[in-house]
Chains A and B, each alone.
Chain A
Amino acid sequence: MDEPVAPAIADTAVPRLPRGVRLVHNEAQGGWMLLAPERVFKADAVSVEILKRCTGQANLGAIVDDLAKAFAGAPRERIHADVVKLLAGLAEKRLLEWG
């Protein structure tokens, strides 16, 4: 299977949700939603775990380490690739900033 090549993002880069992008929980919508100007995205369980850690405090490396700890069993490289793929996709849509 062809996997898209993950963009090179340094482990020291700090991801955060910009002003105007919020992760909220809504019972009637059945879970976590990422809200942005005129846009609403349902966040799946994996995305929620990643996005909750994008507080503007932790850098990419620390977030991956933390996830690897929380989800023991999954190889760190795989987690790293998943996190980068999600965050790069969000940054492309201006739903995430790198500090």
Chain B
Amino acid sequence: MTSNGIGIPAPLGLLAELTHRCPLGCPYCSNPIALDNRSGELDSATWARVFREAAGLGVLQVHLSGGEPAARRDLPEIVEAARAAGLYSNLITSAVGLTPQTLSVLADRGLDHVQISIQDSEQASADHIAGYKGASARKRALAAEVVKFGLPLTVNMVVHRANIARVEPMVDLALALGASRIEVAHVQYYGWALENRAALMPTREQVEAAVGQVERLRKIHQGRIVIDAVVPDYYARFPKPCVGGWGRRSLNVTPAGKVLPCHAAEVIPGLEFWNVREHSLAEIWRTSPAFNAFRGDDWMQEPCKSCALKEKDFGGCRCQAFLLAGDACAADPVCHLSPHHALLAPLAAQGADVPYNYRHL
């Protein structure tokens, strides 16, 4: 990462939430509880401008996400605009509602990579988690199309209470589908996932077994498939360096054009987010109040301020600090040095087999 001359690093990635519309209802959806509606969505010309501005700022990869990005009829134009701006484009899709015909057009327009979410290796369970009957079969069929078109495929598997025992069959499924990469992503508790925390939370023993499995599978499949893991927070002793540090590596543009340092940032009260309809991306990255709120270490409190790891983990996640400790400037309670760390064990212990509150408008 290099500086762009004014002491603020150049971002690497842009998460473009093209729409919040989605046929699935996954209870851990990372979208906010208050979803943007269709009428407020940015048009493709505005996205094209945002992509050009992003590339100028240093962004290398754009993640076309949602909701379900294929819910947008102008997705081919959007992919083409990303390519024209010189960005590497990654389509993050549920695969439901994306036809092989559209996929073929996207491949022609320069799409670089496809990521498909798979809810479980067992189809009935997968459909139950997605809240959509037949989703699993459609995902598998589209994965085959992705491979057929010669596009690299990542399978994203969100891991939680209902499927955590099946990490190995899920990796096997990803291999069978022809994926070159799999994300084993333990649920992070924001937005809808926080609403469903009890229903999703695995036990400590389950988490430890799953983490061990991933280590083992990585060795077995080295050179065949890349296994990336997003580790679970609530049983950890050290916080994650959330989004690589606030306003350091990435930006997130919502369907309506609001620019956030991370997808969950709107939960923090008092932050002022700017919109691409009113400002250039460079202005927003460099000078918007939200992006500067947690840069550097002026905002930090103890134990972060004097911590040797503050340049590494940046005090953990600001959203989680607010959600669990009630103060966005506090240490992330995941850290064993946080005075709020003891809050986590009882919250994790609330895990139970209760019904999901599916994501809905």
Assess the B152–A20 pair: CB atoms within 8 A: yes
- Report Cα–Cα, A93/B221, bound state, in Å: 11
Q: Let me know if A35 and B226 touch, CB within 8 A.
A: no
**B113 interface residue per 8 A CB criterion:** yes
A92 to B226, CA, bound (A): 9
Specify the main secondary structure of chain A where it touches its partner.
mixed
Q: Which residue of A lies closest to B3 (CB)?
A: A30
Interface size on B, residues (CB 8 A): 29
Contacts of B2 in A (CB 8 A): 28-30
- Selected from B57, B152, B180, B223, the residue in CB contact (under 8 A) with A92 is B223
Contact A33 B152 (CB under 8 A): no
**Shortest CB–CB separation between residue A94 and chain B, in angstroms?**
5
Within 8 A of B (CB), among A24-71: 24, 26, 28-30, 33, 35-38, 40
The dominant DSSP class at the B interface is loop
Q: Do B152 and A38 touch across chains, with their CB atoms under 8 A apart?
A: no
Question: Quick check: is B77 within 8 A (CB to CB) of the other chain?
Answer: no
- Judged by a CB distance under 8 angstroms, whether B10 is at the interface is yes
- Residues of chain A lying within 8 A (CB to CB) of residue B58: 26, 28-29
Roughly how many angstroms separate A96 CA and B2 CA in the complex, as a whole number? 26
User: In the complex, which residue of chain B has the Cβ closest to the Cβ of A33?
Assistant: B60
For the complex, give the distance between the alpha carbons of A22 and B57 in Å: 19
Q: Which A-chain residue is minimally distant from B223 (CB atoms)?
A: A92
What are the interface flags for A65-91 relative to B under an 8 Å C-beta threshold, 1 for contact and 0 otherwise? 000000000000000000000000001
A21 contacts across to B, CB distance below 8 A = 152
List the A residue with the shortest CB-CB distance to B225: A94
B56 engages A40 (CB within 8 Å): no
| Residue among A19, A26, A37 making CB contact with B150, cutoff 8 Å | A19
Tell me if B152 and A37 are in contact (CB < 8 A). yes
In Å, the complex CA distance between A24 and B222 comes to 27
Q: Which of these, A26, A33, A37, contacts B113 with CB under 8 Å?
A: A37
Q: How far is the CA of A24 from the CA of B2 in the complex (A)?
A: 16
Cα A24 to Cα B62 with chains together (Å)? 14
Q: Could you tell me the distance in whole angstroms from the C-beta of A18 to the nearest C-beta in chain B?
A: 7
Contact call B90/A40, Cβ cutoff below 8 A:
no
Taking CB atoms, residues of chain A closer than 8 Å to B10 are 28-29
> Which B residues from 210 to 235 make CB contacts under 8 A with A?
222-223, 225-226, 228
Q: Is the CB of A20 within 8 A of B222?
A: no
Chain A residue at smallest Cβ distance from B249: A40
Using Cβ atoms and an 8 Å threshold, which residues of chain B touch A28?
2, 4, 10, 56-58
Distance, CA A33 to CA B58, complexed state (A)? 11
| Complex interface: chain B residues within 8 A of A18 (CB) | 152
In whole angstroms, how far apart are the Cα atoms of A92 and B4 in the complex? 33
Closest chain A CB from B285 CB (angstroms): 11
Q: Which residues of A contact B12 (CB under 8 A)?
A: 29, 40
CA A30 to CA B3, docked complex, whole Å: 9
Q: In the complex the two chains form, what is the Cα distance from A85 to B151 in whole Å?
A: 26
Query: How many angstroms between the C-alpha atoms of A28 and B112 in the bound complex?
Result: 21
**A37/B154 in contact, CB under 8 A:** yes
Instruction: Please report the C-alpha to C-alpha distance between residue A33 and residue B1 in the assembled complex, in whole angstroms.
Output: 11
Q: List 22 A-B contacts (CB under 8 A).
A: A19-B112, A22-B112, A26-B86, A28-B10, A28-B58, A29-B1, A29-B12, A29-B58, A29-B60, A35-B61, A35-B112, A37-B115, A37-B180, A37-B181, A38-B61, A38-B154, A38-B181, A38-B183, A92-B222, A92-B223, A94-B181, A94-B225
Instruction: Other than A19-B150, A94-B180, A94-B223, give 14 A-B pairs with Cβ distance below 8 A.
Output: A18-B152, A20-B113, A20-B151, A21-B152, A24-B88, A26-B86, A29-B60, A30-B2, A37-B90, A37-B112, A37-B113, A38-B181, A92-B222, A94-B226
User: Residues of A at under 8 Å CB distance from B?
Assistant: 18-22, 24, 26, 28-30, 33, 35-38, 40, 91-94
